[in-house]
Amino acid sequence: MPFTTALKSFPRIPNEQAPIAQSSLLPAREFFTFLTGLRDWATTITAGLGESGATSFTVATLPTAVGKSGVRYIVTDANATTFNSIVAGGGANIVPVFSNGTTWRIG
C-alpha cells in the first residue's frame, strides 16, 4: 500500500473554533465525523503496516502468499538466507520474505 495515498486521505480537521460537544455532551456532528474518519484512516494505515513487513512471523505462521504479489514480511526461523529461494522454516535466520503471488521467497 502506498503510504503517500493514505497520508493524503487523512480526514479533514474540523473548524478549531467550533465546539466539540453539543449541550447534551455528545460530540458535535463535525467532530464525530472527524473522529470516525480518523478511526478509518488509522485502520487503513495499520493494515498497510501489516502488509509491508512491520510484522514478523515464523515460516509456519506466514499467511498465504497466493494473490499477494509484492507483500513483504520478516521471518525469524528461515533455514537459509539465499536470495530468491523459497523460504523454509526450522533454522535460526531472520530474513525478509516477499510474495511472488504464489510462494514466499527470501529477499
pLDDT in tens, 24-74: 777 777 777 777 888 877 776 666 555 554 468 899 999 889 988 888 888
CB 49 within 8 A of CB 78: no
The predicted pLDDT at position 95 comes to 92
Are 66 and 94 within one domain? yes
Compute the distance between CA of residue 4 and CA of residue 82 in angstroms, rounded to an integer: 32
pLDDT value of position 67: 85
pLDDT in tens, 3-14: 555 556 666 666
**91 and 73 housed in the same domain:** yes
Residue 1 pLDDT class (50, 70, 90 cuts) = very low
Give yes or no for residue 21 having a pLDDT over 80: no
**The amino acid at 38:** L
66 and 44: one domain?
no
Query: Which residues touch 95 (CB under 8 Å, ≥6 apart)?
Result: 74, 75, 78, 81, 87, 106
Q: Verify that 63 and 96 share a domain, yes or no.
A: yes
CA–CA distances in Å: residue 52 to residues 31, 59, 97: 31, 16, 10
Tens digits of residue pLDDT in 68-90: 888 888 899 999 999 999 999 99
Please state whether the predicted TM-score (pTM) of the whole model is above 0.75: no
* 92: containing domain: 56-106
